[in-house]
Amino acid sequence: MKKRSDANAGLAPEYRLDYSKARPNRFAGKAQVQPVVVVLAPDVAQVFRDAKSVNAILRSIVKAVPGGPPQP
């Protein structure tokens, strides 16, 4: 493994990085999609026990609707 000084040896001074001043990327964990929470009526909640079954039914309905799912 190369030392930092060896890795920067062939670079111009403006490209040599001082890794002692480096900080973690504060935006790295924020790119995740947040789930949407929907409250089901009690009678509907008795039929659908988990998110997987609700999503499966909703996806089949979206596919059956004329025009299909919305394009991103």
Intra-chain end-to-end CA distance of the chain, in Å:
44
Residue 72 confidence (pLDDT): 58
Tens-digit pLDDT string for the chain (72 aa)? 555 556 667 778 888 778 888 888 887 777 677 788 889 999 999 998 888 999 999 999 988 887 766 665
Q: What is the pLDDT of residue 26?
A: 81
d(CA 52, CA 13): 55
Domain presence at residue 44: yes
Query: 17-56: buried (b, 16+ CB within 10 Å) or exposed (e) per residue?
Result: eeeeeeeeeeeeeeeeeeeeeeeeeeeeeeeeeeeeebee
Domains held by the chain: number:
1
70 part of a folded domain: yes
Could you tell me if residue 65 is inside a domain? yes
The domain in which residue 68 lies consists of 34-72
